[in-house]
Structure 1
Amino acid sequence: MANISEDIGSIRQAESEADIIVEEANKKSTEMIQEARAKVDSDIEAAKEEAQDEAKHILLAKEEEAGKEAVIITNTSESDIKESLRGSENNVDDAADIIIETVL
């Protein structure tokens, strides 16, 4: 009987040690999951910041490009307007000559 009693004691001791090992493994896996989540959250936040910075750079570049195009369009428009005014002035002189010739 002593052997059975010792065997039962050994089994209980092994069960207790197994329970401790399982509990430690659960704690360790919980810690690993928390660390992984923190790392993923950090990586996501870094990616968001990088994307926002890139978007700002693209926006600034497009604004600069649009500004340059606006200057070109303005210069072209001013030139076209001046040319139209010159043509109109010539037509006014021609029209005045026709009116004078017709009336006289």
Structure 2
Amino acid sequence: MANISEAIGSIRQAESEADSMIEEANKKSTEMIQDARVKVDSSIEAAKLEAQDEAKHIILAKEEEAGKEAVIITNQSESDIKESLRGSENNVDDAAEIIIETVL
């Protein structure tokens, strides 16, 4: 009977140790999951910040490009207006000559 009693005691002790090991494994698993979540959240936040920063740089570059293009367009428009005015001035002189010739 002592052997059976010892065997039962050993089995109970093994079960207890197994339960402790399972409990410890569950705790470690939970900690690992929490650590992983923290790392993932941190990585996601870093990626968001990086994307926002990149978007700001792209917007600034496009604004600068648009500003340069606006200057080019403005300069071309001013040149076209001056050319048109010169042509109009020539037409005024020609029209004045025609009127003078017609009237005289």
- If the length of structure 1 is used for normalisation, what is the TM-score? 0.96
Once the two structures are superposed, residues 44-69 of structure 1 have per-residue CA deviations (whole angstroms, 9 ceiling, x without a partner) of 10011011111111111111111111
Deviates more, 1:93-102 or 1:82-91: 93-102
Give the equivalent residue in structure 2 for 1:39. 39
Superposition map of 1:41-56 within 5 A: 41-56=41-56
Give the CA deviation at 1:38: 0.5
Number of the residue aligned with 1:101 = 101
Give the equivalent residue in structure 1 for 2:5: 5
- Give the Cα–Cα distance (whole angstroms) in 2 for the partners of residues 96 and 26 of structure 1: 102
Q: Post-superposition shift, 1:103?
A: 2.6
Instruction: Show the counterpart of 1:82.
Output: 82
2 CA distance for matches of 1:103 and 1:12? 132
Matched with 1:91 is 91
Question: Which runs of no fewer than 5 residues in structure 2 stay unpaired?
Answer: none
d(CA) in 2 for partners of 1:28, 1:43: 22
Q: Within the alignment, does 1:16 sit opposite 2:6 as a pair?
A: no
4+ long deviations beyond 3 Å:
none
Partner of 1:63: 63
- Amino acid corresponding to residue 63 of structure 2 in structure 1: E
Number of corresponding residues? 104
Counterpart of 1:46, as a letter, is A
What is the letter of the counterpart of residue 40 of structure 2? V
Give ranges in structure 1 of 5+ residues lacking alignment: none
